[in-house]
Amino acid sequence: MKLAEIIRLAFRAIRGNMLRTVLTVLIIAFGILALVGILTIIDGIEGSISTNFSSMGANSFSFRNKEASFHVGRRGKKAKTYQRIKYEQAQLFKRVFNYPAKVSINVRVAGTLTAEYASKKTHPNVGLFGVDENYFEVSGYEFAAGRPFSHQETTDGANVVVLGPDVAALLFRNPIKAVNQVISLNEKKYRVAGVLKSKGVSGFMNTDNTMYISVTNARRTFLSGKENNVSYVVTIAVNNTAMLEGAVSEAEGLFRVVRKNNLKEENDFETRRSTDLAQELFENLYYVRMAAVFIGIITLLGAAIGLMNIMLVSVNERTREIGLCKAIGATNTNIRVQLFTEAILICQIGGVLGIILGLLLGNLIAISIFKGSMIIPWLWIFGGLILCFVVGIVAGVYPAVKASRLNPITALRHE
């Protein structure tokens, strides 16, 4: 029997049991939808993360305050605390670091601030940072309108502010209209120097919903008397990525001197590269991907059981038809191939439907929520089709073998 004839007969048999076939196809489609949809979303998120961190530059690293650690001694657990990075230490490092690189200092001032302009007001969840004139270039920010702080403005602590795009949109709608306008931060007047372009969510912080003032102004206006409660961040960006390793080594050595670490002591600060956070996010997404694969496989296992049941019912209903086929010369192999083909076709129809729905839904979520780009995960598409093929074979084995072993005389007598 030719393959085309086998497929034609299989489609005829599928149409003869339309309701049961549709239910099985939907079960398989939902399994593939969950698998391909979630994996498409994850690929979209990874692409968005890679783009965002590439815009920050793979040539930067930062020194941050090291978190407290625990060690076990004779008297039990003791917390080892590390001294916060002081402004004087950060400023000294910036002044004496002699390397072809740019150094920036920044500090988180507040996370629940409200900005006002005329009768308009932001939500009380705007982040405020104190930064120097190098911060925006080192961190990979681009300006939608206006400019960054000048060196003189940073030194003098001028009342100038750079707005994130979400803040500017709430207060002015158009970023260009925001430049040179005066807004209020905690009843203090600041002139808008510029508005940043959108960078989206970075880690757990919405970088678009932030404002930036000079670090000198931040210390004078917001951090006066609170210096012991904050830790400064020093960020270094080298001119050439090939120089990164050398810059890290030299910068760590110098910062140890600035922090007065003894030779036998470990670093009492944390070195974080711009790609470290992205790597952590990728590792977390790996577990989400594995969970999606597990959910998809479990769903397809249920679909395989349902398909096997449908095929067994189909064999029982077509007993006389099978007996007639065998009586006119069909071999056991012909019967098995026919039943296998029907099971595989049902699985492939469900798989194709699930892939289409998964791609549409996954890309819709990835683009609209995570600002990703259009993704077609060919590996997972082919993997899903292969998985459906395997499910069809597994589900069709027992019904096909059972049908091929029917005695033609007994089958013809079946009512």
pLDDT tens digits, 120-157:
998 888 999 999 999 998 888 889 999 999 999 999 99
Q: At 70, is the pLDDT very low, low, confident or very high (cuts 50, 70, 90)?
A: very low
Q: Does 166 share its domain with 181?
A: yes
* Residue 214: predicted pLDDT: 95
Q: Does 218 share its domain with 110?
A: yes
- Geometric angle at alpha carbon 29, from 25 and 30, rounded to 5°: 120
Task: Kindly tell me if the per-residue pLDDT of 200 is higher than 70.
Answer: no
Residues 183-193: pLDDT tens digits? 999 889 999 99
Which of 273, 298, 314 terminates a domain? The answer is 273
Task: Kindly tell me if the per-residue pLDDT of 62 is higher than 60.
Answer: yes
- Give the residue from 88, 82, 103 showing the smallest Cα distance to 227: 88
Mean pLDDT, range 160-184, rounded to an integer: 92
202 versus 283: which is more confidently predicted? 283
* Residues contacting residue 211 through CB under 8 Å, at least 6 positions apart: 113, 115, 126, 127, 128, 129, 161, 162, 163, 164, 167, 185
In angstroms, the CA 103 to CA 39 distance is 39
* Residue 235: predicted pLDDT: 92
* Residue 72: predicted pLDDT: 46
* Residue 374: predicted pLDDT: 78
> Above pLDDT 90, what percent of the chain?
26
Structural domain count, the chain: 2
Q: Does 44 share its domain with 12?
A: yes
In angstroms, the CA 20 to CA 30 distance is 16
Q: Does 162 share its domain with 25?
A: no
Q: Does 204 share its domain with 293?
A: no
Pairing between β-strand 269-273 and β-strand 76-80 as defined by DSSP bridges? unpaired
Q: Does 119 share its domain with 251?
A: yes
Mean pLDDT, rounded, of the chain: 82
In angstroms, the CA 170 to CA 178 distance is 11
Mean pLDDT, range 333-350, rounded to an integer: 84
Task: Kindly tell me if the per-residue pLDDT of 319 is higher than 80.
Answer: no
* Residue 203: predicted pLDDT: 47
Q: Is the Cβ–Cβ distance between 233 and 174 less than 8 Å?
A: no
Q: Range with the lowest mean pLDDT among 48-52, 309-313, 345-349, 380-384?
A: 48-52
* Residues contacting residue 31 through CB under 8 Å, at least 6 positions apart: 296, 297, 299, 300, 302, 303, 350, 354
Tell me which residue range forms the domain holding 385: 3-53+280-413
* Residue 279: predicted pLDDT: 67
Q: At 412, is the pLDDT very low, low, confident or very high (cuts 50, 70, 90)?
A: low
Q: Is the Cβ–Cβ distance between 55 and 140 less than 8 Å?
A: yes
Q: Does 293 share its domain with 399?
A: yes
Q: Does 41 share its domain with 125?
A: no
Q: Does 185 share its domain with 211?
A: yes
Which of 231, 253, 273 terminates a domain? The answer is 273
Q: Does 22 share its domain with 133?
A: no
Looking at mean pLDDT, say which of 42-46, 52-56, 391-395 comes out highest. Answer: 391-395
Q: Is the Cβ–Cβ distance between 154 and 125 less than 8 Å?
A: no
In angstroms, the CA 110 to CA 194 distance is 20
CA–CA distances in Å: residue 172 to residues 146, 147, 185, 410, 411 = 14, 17, 15, 84, 81
* Residue 334: predicted pLDDT: 81
Which of 273, 290, 309 terminates a domain? The answer is 273
In angstroms, the CA 144 to CA 137 distance is 14
Task: Kindly tell me if the per-residue pLDDT of 389 is higher than 60.
Answer: yes
* Residue 26: predicted pLDDT: 85
Q: Does 167 share its domain with 102?
A: yes
Q: Does 303 share its domain with 201?
A: no
Beta bridge partners of 212: 129, 162
Task: Kindly tell me if the per-residue pLDDT of 55 is higher than 60.
Answer: no
